[in-house]
Chain A
Amino acid sequence: MNNNEPRLPNGLDEFSMTTASKQYSNIGRAWYRFSRNYAAVIGLIIVCSVILMAIFAPLIAPNPEHAGSFVNFRARHLAPSWEHWMGTDNVGRDIFSRVIFGYQVSLALVVGVLSLSVPIGVLLGIVAAYAGGWVEQTIMRFNDMLLAVPPLALALAITSILEPSLINAMIAISFLWWNWHCRLIYQLAKSIVTEDFVEAAKLSGASHWHIITKEILPNCVAAISVKTTLDAGFVILFGATLSFLGLGVQPPTPDLGTMVSTGSNYLPEYWWEAIMPGLAILYIILGFNLLGDGLRDFFDVEV
């Protein structure tokens, strides 16, 4: 909960209600309110810049051919300069070019993981909260179990079974990630199902499917979007950690975590080889985080 927006004193809900509803009903005003949160706008700019870089990587990267298994030993270990903004690595590839292509891999990971885990987590969370009884117990106890495993350990175990690759990293991370969405949405939905409007919908003859998708889900959308945005950053962080340990995307595909890992062998003389890709990871995570925090303040939801 950020405190940029002044809260109204207690007992004055009627004012905030009317003001807030007017804010929501008007996209222009909503944008105004969002744009006043500078941190969130910076986050949006960062995220957009990374997405654009990833899409237009072949056009933007100074040396697109360096993305693959290119070797030029004469140019190895060059410090950052005008020609190579982030220096070159141990086989003479331009790190900046590889970072831009690395973003492609990171974003692919994010899209893959979130499009797998968010729908599953959300659906199971709502179903658990709505159905109750043994369905709820089964889903949530399974959830508890997954919570007790260090996520990295489990992901490592899974990727080691499946052989390291981008797709397998996605599967491993998704297997862990739905859990968090499920918990969040479960708690939210649990309070929504006790609301009178759910009972009223039942009395109106609505089907279970209608109640789940039309009554409960729309009230979770704000929380889901905030959580998903924040998670995009953490998925990248997690994926980078996996590949740092050698269990993510395999060379020569440019991957930021792998680049840090390889570069760290040449510390401290050739510091840029580890630090530059590291900062690139930080940049994108920062972007998603600022944006997510901004959305959280905007929607005023807890995640």
Chain B
Amino acid sequence: MTVESSNLVEIKNLNLSFKVYGGTKQVLHNISLSIAPGERVALIGESGSGKTVTSKLLINTLNPEQIQIESGDIFIQGKSALTMSKEQREALKGSVMSMIQQDPQTSFNPVFRIGTHLLDIMHSGDKNLGIKQSKTEQKERIFEVLRKVKLLDPERVYNAYPWQLSGGMRQRVLIAMALLHPTRLLIADEPGTALDVTTQNEIIKLINQLVHDEQLSLLMVTHNLGVVRKTADRVYVMQHGRIVEHGTVDDIFASPSHPYTARLFDSVPKLFHSEESVEDKPETPVLVRLIDVEKRFATKKNWKGSVINEVLAVKPTSLQIHKGETFGIAGESGSGKTTLARMIMGLSELTSGNITIENKHLDAWRLNNENRYSIQMVHQNPAASINPRRTIAQTLNVPLKHIAKVTNRKQEIQRLLKLVELPPEYADMYPSNLSGGQKQRVAIARALAANPKILVLDEPTSALDVSVQKSVIELLEKLQRQLGLTYIFISHDLSLMRNFCDRVAVMFRGELLETGTTQDIFNKPTQRYTKALIRAIPVISDEEERHKPKISDEDALQVLQQKY
């Protein structure tokens, strides 16, 4: 079946099910989507929305034995893909559409060199297109593409094993893989999401430039509205396997009509507000004081046990955290922010320096039984921080029994659940019955059960969808007001800190770059790195874009180069 169409790709009223455990489960409901030549389209949705399935269906990497197309059709260059032979369908890969894989960490076979991957892809594509070339010629073409994705030393990349390259470089190789042969549609599944925000920004820029230069169509699959704004002309919004809204980026960003889309926009934390509400919190006494705190890890020891090689995880750092405030420690992976927090918690020994809490030395302070467990922590991923084999009540029981020494624990559990806004009947459930956001609430309740003075929040929302993220942050704000807690908030997500933290410290490669009130850091950052970091955050309005600190491209580049 063929239809006259100007569209490069068109999905029409498609219903798709997975065969699961003897039954079927419908995952795509009546999906319709089209991409014209040269058009940039975004597909946005949260986890489980079916956006990745849709993209995999297009490129045809779903296992045919596990899926069942109930109705509808896919047209590629006007031809029905469902009636194509397997060979015809295979031949489209790399010549009509190419896919950029999501995760640079897992997308390479670790026992083969990068070059082997590239050469095999080149070879398969050439075979489909009927090109016959020697290996050296193919290699030369590969090098050319590698240069195109700004890998300036293609020889080294070609001969490296995947694990010898940085995440950013690997992501570039993934892009190169998609561009080895002239193609018409580029499908990008969350490119750079696994990377640091500055690197991610570079990757997005690169994709934009390539799409422009090669006049490609783009299907950008993402969960980030900021990325949509930067990369797409039109956008499809997906929820629970349905497309709930679509239109041009301008229209939808100006006035989202579906309630889900509106909620999505609402939950994105604003980087800059038009009217700044500067509520001055009264100055409170210093609670935690770090004086020249330093941490080294030994990476290699000789046979006698003395250290040969070590890394400086945290360079000498001094800072103060006041009682009742939310203190943010910002930084990308490897910046030392988590190590710093773990030292405050007493989970990690200091190499040198001093930490005092309530003007007592940390060890002395913790010796007081009352303070022993007074610093609690909420971990990043609730799926990992809550034991899947224990009920919620059993989990909450532990701190109540060992720390708070409560006698009427049943009642106390009910109180805690109410505090984190969970229904009381959840007490007898297992974590697998709860959603990610609900699990994180349980983790918060467990931390509160110990009656903490300080709560360390280790990226508590990074494993959650944006809409859930917002409600968890609101809960944390409410609890702080009610219980007078001091928060230490560790995150790489600056826009989240913007609205949540009172003061922020920016860390980079183990070094504390600057500390200040949130307003100061965002409005008048002094360090080049801080500027680059804020600038790289994808935002959803022109106004926010304008408010970003100015930094020249050269400076931004230097910051990036410093990283590797």
Contacts and interface: CB of A to CB of B under 8 A. Distances in A.
Among A21, A203, A219, residue most surrounded by chain B Cβ atoms (within 10 Å): A203
Nearest to A216: B387
Contact of B399 (A25, A196, A197, A205): A205
A25 B391 CA distance: 12
Contact of A205 (B48, B394, B403, B430): B403
A136 interface: no
A145 to B, nearest CB: 22
Contacts of B386: 197, 200
B377 A204 contact: no
Nearest to B53: A12
Interface in A195-246: 195-197, 199-201, 203-207, 210, 214-215, 218-219, 221
A9 interface: yes
B65 interface: yes
Interface in B263-304: none
Contact of B56 (A9, A23, A195, A219): A9
A21 B433 contact: yes
Among B21, B384, B403, residue most surrounded by chain A Cβ atoms (within 10 Å): B21
Interface string B348-381: 0000000000000000000000001100110111
A33 B18 contact: no
A14 interface: yes
A133 interface: no
Nearest to B432: A21
B402 A207 contact: yes
Given A6-B19, A11-B56, A25-B433, A197 B66 contact: no
Interface residues of A, number: 36
B450 A203 contact: yes
Nearest to B48: A14
A245 B398 CA distance: 54
B377 A200 contact: yes
Interface string A1-31: 0000111110110111101110111000000
A211 B436 CA distance: 24
Contacts of A16: 20
A204 B403 contact: yes
A7 B65 CA distance: 10
A196 B450 contact: no
B407 interface: no
Interface string A60-76: 00000000000000000
B27 interface: yes
A11 B377 CA distance: 29
Contacts of A11: 52-53, 56, 102
B427 to A, nearest CB: 16
A6 B432 contact: no
A16 B446 CA distance: 27
A220 B192 CA distance: 36
Among A16, A17, A200, A206, residue most surrounded by chain B Cβ atoms (within 10 Å): A200
Contact of A8 (B66, B387, B398): B66
A200 B379 contact: yes
A201 B347 CA distance: 13
A36 B389 CA distance: 25
Contact of B449 (A12, A19, A33, A204): A204
A294 to B, nearest CB: 15
B218 interface: no
A252 to B, nearest CB: 48
Interface residues of B, number: 47
Interface in B1-40: 18-22, 25, 27
Interface in A27-61: 33, 36
B303 to A, nearest CB: 15
Among B53, B66, B377, B389, residue most surrounded by chain A Cβ atoms (within 10 Å): B389
Nearest to B106: A10
B385 interface: yes
A15 to B, nearest CB: 7
B399 A6 contact: no
A285 to B, nearest CB: 30
B388 interface: yes
Interface string A179-209: 0000000000000000111011101111100
Interface string B51-63: 0110010000111
A7 B390 contact: no
A83 B48 CA distance: 65
A78 B432 CA distance: 61
Contacts of A20: 432
Contacts of A215: 387, 390
A14 B21 CA distance: 15
A199 to B, nearest CB: 8
Contacts of A33: 21-22
B63 A9 contact: yes
Contacts of B389: 218-219, 221
A9 B66 contact: yes
B21 A200 contact: no
B390 A214 contact: yes
Nearest to A217: B389
A205 B396 CA distance: 12
B47 interface: yes
Among A6, A24, A206, A218, residue most surrounded by chain B Cβ atoms (within 10 Å): A6
A33 B23 CA distance: 11
B149 interface: no
Given A16-B20, A197-B387, 10 more contacts: A8-B18, A25-B430, A25-B432, A33-B21, A33-B22, A196-B385, A199-B377, A200-B385, A200-B443, A219-B389
Interface of A: 5-9, 11-12, 14-17, 19-21, 23-25, 33, 36, 195-197, 199-201, 203-207, 210, 214-215, 218-219, 221
Interface of B: 18-22, 25, 27, 47-48, 52-53, 56, 61-63, 65-67, 102, 347, 372-373, 376-377, 379-381, 384-390, 394, 398-399, 402-403, 430, 432-433, 443, 446-447, 449-450
In the A-B complex, the 5 residue pairs with the closest CB atoms: A205-B402, A21-B432, A218-B389, A196-B385, A204-B399
26 contacts: A6-B20, A8-B18, A9-B66, A11-B56, A11-B102, A12-B53, A14-B48, A15-B18, A16-B20, A17-B432, A19-B25, A21-B433, A23-B21, A195-B384, A199-B379, A203-B447, A204-B398, A204-B402, A204-B403, A204-B449, A204-B450, A205-B373, A207-B402, A215-B390, A218-B387, A221-B389
